[in-house]
Amino acid sequence: MLASSLVLAALSHLDTSAPSVRSAAEITLRSYRRWKASRVRKAASDSESAATRFICAFTADRVDSVKRSCASMSHSVEAVVSPLRLTKPLTIWRRHDHARNWASANRELIAVRVLERLRTEGTGLIDICHNGVEQVDLADRTCWLHRKGAAPSTVGPVVIPGSRGAFTYLVAPKDPGEKSAFSPAHGTGRKWSRSDSRARLENRFSAKDLVRTELGSHVICEDRELLYEEAPQAYKNITVVIDDLVQAGLVDVVAIMKPLVTYKVRR
């Protein structure tokens, strides 16, 4: 994902009281995971309680209603309904929150290592998940909102990155609700598919051409396919995306940031 390749150290989530920050030079992935384990267990416990309340509220008549509405679908109705009546959601939500907490820990570790390499310090301000499920109240009903590549508008300021060769915007979501599904965009969005990007760009640019952008920023990516798949030309115009969000009354622009280094992968 484009957002994961834009390592903005100053905006990565850091807990300054954590052992990883107090002693960055001594950090290892194993010790970091042990430190994170308590946070993962608490999130899983909270999620289990929420899932249990949801199951209890999901009465038999609602199950029958779901079955009727799904009857024309090609996939198994029981696969949709059964998890809501049995104990499977408890396992599902534990795994869901474990994955989210692991991803958060991984981002934090990346930020710590980047700061260590730069021989500097930083303070975490924002850590946003773009893929996950969240409980929301909608029309006097408890619902589950599934975001697949969308930022939440319910947790404060959100970073909306452009491509490797475009500006990144820090925005403040406005009036979260049904109109926006409680979610602004999480990035500029692709203009071409990955395979289409390679086909269009490989004959126009060398790999060397793509390690520097028009903004003068550096791209560290030693995977040739990714270099073409995530080239700036493959993405929409971030200015247009942000203007649309502002005109729709969904966000206010707080700051505009210029990328200096985009790190993706080293071999």
Residues acting as catalytic residues: 186
Residue 232 near residue 163, CB atoms below 8 Å: yes
Residue 227 near residue 184, CB atoms below 8 Å: no
242 φ/ψ angles, rounded to the nearest 5 degrees: -65, -45
Residue 115 near residue 122, CB atoms below 8 Å: yes
Tokens 């010790």, residue?
31
Pairing relationship of beta strands 261-265 and 218-221 according to DSSP bridges: parallel
DSSP H or E stretch at residue 255: strand 251-257
> Please, which residues have CB within 8 angstroms of residue 223's CB and are 6 or more apart in sequence?
264, 265, 267
Residue ranges in the chain assigned as alpha helix (H): 2-5, 19-22, 29-57, 60-70, 77-85, 88-118, 194-201, 224-229, 238-247
- Own/partner long-range contacts of 27-33 (Cβ < 8 Å, ≥24 apart): 27/109, 27/112, 27/113, 29/109, 32/105, 32/109, 33/105
SS3 50: helix
Strands (E), 116-248: 131-138, 141-148, 158-160, 168-173, 218-221
